[in-house]
Amino acid sequence: MTQDQHSVRTNQRSFRLLSRSTPRIERWKAGFGRFVFLAITGAIISVSSERMFWYWSSNPLDHWVIALYYGAVAAAVLWVIQRFRVNSLSSLLLVAPIFAYMVEGIITPILYTGGPFVPFFPAWFSFWHGFLGLVGLWYLLHLWLINGQTRRIAWASIAMGLFWGMWSITMLLPGNFDDPELIEDHGGPLEILAPMAFARYAVSFSLILAGMHWLWGRLVKPVDFEPSVWSKRLYVVAVVTILVVWSVAIPWAAPMFAAYVAIQIWVLRRHAQGATGPGLFEQLSGRVRGRHLLALVPLPATAAATYTLLWELDLSLGLIEAFMFTVIFAQSVIGLVVLVRHIRRTLKQNPKHQAEPEMGARS
């Protein structure tokens, strides 16, 4: 064998090895990209689901542990978005309850504590986790940021900041800061934040929110979300196992979870039959410019100012408690009304004429 022939065979062998390894490398890269996207998604949504709900864990480092839990839940929701061709605000509102059911029905069993026939918790959690977190801070905020709709973001930040500051004052209620389960989960006494401490807290997590949206589109540019077959199987096994565990203490946990999720999947299948236009991931594929993030400044500023004002007013605990239950009731009603309305709207639509994506680039 001549030297040239030997070189040719060596090159051919190297090419075959490279050809076999390239798909594997691409799969690893795709898997890592999905993981990063899930981490970013979890970090964004958990700002509203956890940090705006209560401030007991004021250490930003703890946020990333919670974000991983939310990222794991988001994996199922993002696949549902891909699978059922979700492409608009209306169709995402149908996915939002599934996210809420996963958070409060899989990570914790709180969803089932009201009983199998009372829609209070499903409606309330759909509003808080689904509408505020998934739809608000994840979808609409990113859509507005990449489209440069800073005025809309600023007004939304003021509204959200007012709500954040007002809701956070309810942490002063004895039933919140001396709850034995919360103290055990926190690993020690729960600290009530003074106004300056709350201001630092609000700024910290607003920076995390802004940073995650800035990284989205730079670290990852998802055009779809299609987990591998094995990932889906492992996920299903994990969900079923957890439901079995919850069902030991709460017999209706598994059928209740299955029924609520099945309703949403049934409606989403109807939506997917005639969905047209760009998908949700394509709509959210742009980059966020740093200057557009300045529109989020009113969020922590308004939250801190509202919290400080209410703190100085020294409101009675009875008034604070009345406000808290009023908010919870209103969120539950809104959550149920929005959910039922969009289910009926989707079922009445002609599958051949689905609505185009909403809340687009108009300023």
Domain count, the chain: 1
d(CA 363, CA 8): 61
pLDDT bin (cut points 50, 70, 90) of residue 13 is low
Question: How far are the Cα atoms of 124, 243, 256, 282, 342 from residue 246, in angstroms, in the given order?
Answer: 21, 5, 12, 37, 30
Q: Which residue has the higher pLDDT, 200 or 22?
A: 200
Tokens of 99: 């996210």
Q: Dump pLDDT digits (tens) for 43-69.
A: 999 998 888 988 766 555 677 888 888
pLDDT bin (cut points 50, 70, 90) of residue 355 is very low
Question: How far are the Cα atoms of 121, 258, 308 from residue 95, in angstroms, in the given order?
Answer: 17, 15, 36
pTM: 0.86
d(CA 26, CA 137): 31
**Cα-Cα-Cα-Cα dihedral sign, residues 297, 299, 302, 303:** negative
| Mean pLDDT of the 318-322 span | 95
Domain-embedded: residue 362: no
d(CA 335, CA 131): 8
State the residue range of the domain holding 204: 3-348
Domain-embedded: residue 232: yes
d(CA 248, CA 241): 11
Amino acid of residue 101: Y
Per-residue pLDDT at 362: 46
Domain-embedded: residue 353: no
Q: How many helices (H) and strands (E) does the chain have?
A: 14, 0
